[in-house]
Amino acid sequence: MNRIYRLFAVILVISSGIIFSSCKENNVNEILIGEFASLTGSEATFGQSSHNGLMLAVEEVNGSGGVLGKQIKLITDDTQSKTQEVPTVVQKLINRDKVVALIGEVASSRSKAGAPIAQQFKIPMVTPASTNPEVTMIGDYIFRVCFIDPFQATVMSKFAINSMKVKRVALLVDQKNAYSTGLADNFKNVFPEMGGEIIEEQKYSAGDKDFKAQLTSIKAKDPEAIFIPGYYTDVNLISIQAREIGLTCPLFGSDGWESEKLTEGKAKDALEGSFFSTHVSADDPSPGIQNFIKKFQEKYSSKPDAMAFLGYDAGMILFDAIKKAGDTNGEKIKNQLAKVKDYQGITGLITINDQRNAVKPAVVMEIKDGNFVYKETIAP
User: What residue ranges bind ligand PHE (CB under 6 A)?
Assistant: 46, 106-108, 129-132, 179, 255-256, 258, 306-307
Q: Are 106 and 128 in contact (CB under 8 A)?
A: yes
Task: Please tell me the distance from the alpha carbon of residue 316 to that of residue 310, in angstroms, as a whole number.
Answer: 10
Query: At closest approach, how far in Å is the CB of 7 from ligand PHE?
Result: 56
Q: Which is nearer to ligand PHE, 37 or 225 (CB)?
A: 37
Query: At closest approach, how far in Å is the CB of 293 from ligand PHE?
Result: 16
Q: Which is nearer to ligand PHE, 129 or 238 (CB)?
A: 129
For residue 340, give the DSSP letter: -
Query: At closest approach, how far in Å is the CB of 158 from ligand PHE?
Result: 19
Number of H helices, E strands in the chain: 13, 14
HSE on the CB side for 124, CA within 13 Å?
A: 27
Task: Please tell me the distance from the alpha carbon of residue 357 to that of residue 182, in angstroms, as a whole number.
Answer: 16
Q: Which is nearer to ligand PHE, 134 or 140 (CB)?
A: 134
Rg (CA), the chain: 23
Q: Which is nearer to ligand PHE, 108 or 357 (CB)?
A: 108
Query: At closest approach, how far in Å is the CB of 201 from ligand PHE?
Result: 20
DSSP symbols for 75-142: EEEE-TT-GGGHHHHHHIIIIIS--SEEEE-SSHHHHHHHHHHHHHTT--EEESS---THHHHT-TTE
Closest CA to 168 of 227, 112, 241: 227
Q: Which is nearer to ligand PHE, 57 or 333 (CB)?
A: 57
Q: Which is nearer to ligand PHE, 46 or 275 (CB)?
A: 46
Task: Please tell me the distance from the alpha carbon of residue 284 to that of residue 282, in angstroms, as a whole number.
Answer: 5
Task: Please tell me the distance from the alpha carbon of residue 144 to that of residue 280, in angstroms, as a whole number.
Answer: 16
Q: Which is nearer to ligand PHE, 106 or 118 (CB)?
A: 106
Which three-class secondary structure state does DSSP give residue 352? Answer: strand
